[in-house]
């Protein structure tokens, strides 16, 4: 049993015991005023009747509340069951992959046979004005020769990246005017 139920049963037991012990006082007739009239009735029984009426009203409210919650739970369970059945019988569709544009075979062939000199020429042409091309014209060996601090054991692409960063940093440092002002 819950603590709340035990407390309610104890309170009802105490009220019943109190009524049984004082039954003669409960039955003593008294003059009661009901605003527009006066009535001769036992005050204890009137109050006891009001307590019983309130207890019955609360009991009816609790039963109504519990039944509405039970009906709502059943409705949710039915909806959940129908959604679960729909999910189980739904066809499995694989996610669509992003479609890349097709490159014609002629373009691929031309790109594979293009000479390294034309690639260097294109890089030099597309480099920003005032900035060197990404890689020096001599290819990877030239990068390693230009880079005085090429790491030993570094691959050609690592040396090229180091050299291109240094050359880009030095060219931007030369192009930037001195913006420090003395106060």
Distance CA 147, CA 156 (A): 11
Which position has the higher pLDDT, 151 or 89? 89
Whether the per-residue pLDDT at 139 is higher than 60: the answer is no
What's the Cα-to-Cα distance from 79 to each of 82, 86, 88, 92, rounded to whole Å? 5, 11, 14, 22
CB-based contacts of 149, cutoff 8 Å, min separation 6: 162
| pLDDT one-digit tens code per residue, 142-164 | 444 444 454 555 455 555 566 66
Domain layout of the chain by residue ranges? 3-80, 136-173
- Other beta carbons within 10 angstroms of residue 103's beta carbon come to 9
Whether the per-residue pLDDT at 183 is higher than 50: the answer is no
Distance CA 22, CA 87 (A): 67
| pLDDT one-digit tens code per residue, 99-111 | 777 777 777 667 6
What is the sign, positive or negative, of the torsion defined by CA atoms of 152, 153, 157, 158?
negative
Average pLDDT over residues 9-17: 91
Look over the chain and give the mean of its residue pLDDT values, rounded to a whole number: 75
3-state secondary structure of 99: coil
Whether the per-residue pLDDT at 43 is higher than 70: the answer is yes
């Amino acid at each position: 049993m819950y603590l709340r139920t035990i407390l309610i049963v104890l309170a009802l037991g105490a009220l019943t015991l109190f009524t049984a012990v004082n039954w003669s006082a409960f039955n003593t007739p008294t003059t009661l005023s009901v605003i527009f009239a006066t009535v001769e009735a036992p005050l204890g029984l009137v109050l006891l009747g009001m307590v019983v009426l309130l207890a019955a009203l609360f009991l009816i409210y609790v039963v109504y509340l519990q039944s509405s919650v039970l009906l709502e739970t059943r409705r949710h369970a039915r909806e959940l069951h129908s959604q679960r059945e729909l999910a189980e019988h739904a066809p499995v569709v694989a996610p669509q992959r992003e479609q890349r544009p097709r490159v014609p075979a002629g373009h691929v062939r031309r790109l594979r046979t293009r000479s390294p000199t034309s690639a260097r020429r294109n890089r030099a042409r597309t480099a920003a004005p005032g900035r060197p091309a990404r890689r020096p014209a001599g290819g990877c060996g030239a990068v390693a020769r230009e880079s005085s601090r090429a790491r030993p054991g570094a691959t050609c692409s690592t040396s090229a990246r180091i050299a291109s960063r240094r050359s880009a940093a030095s060219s931007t440092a030369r192009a930037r005017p001195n913006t420090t002002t003395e106060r």
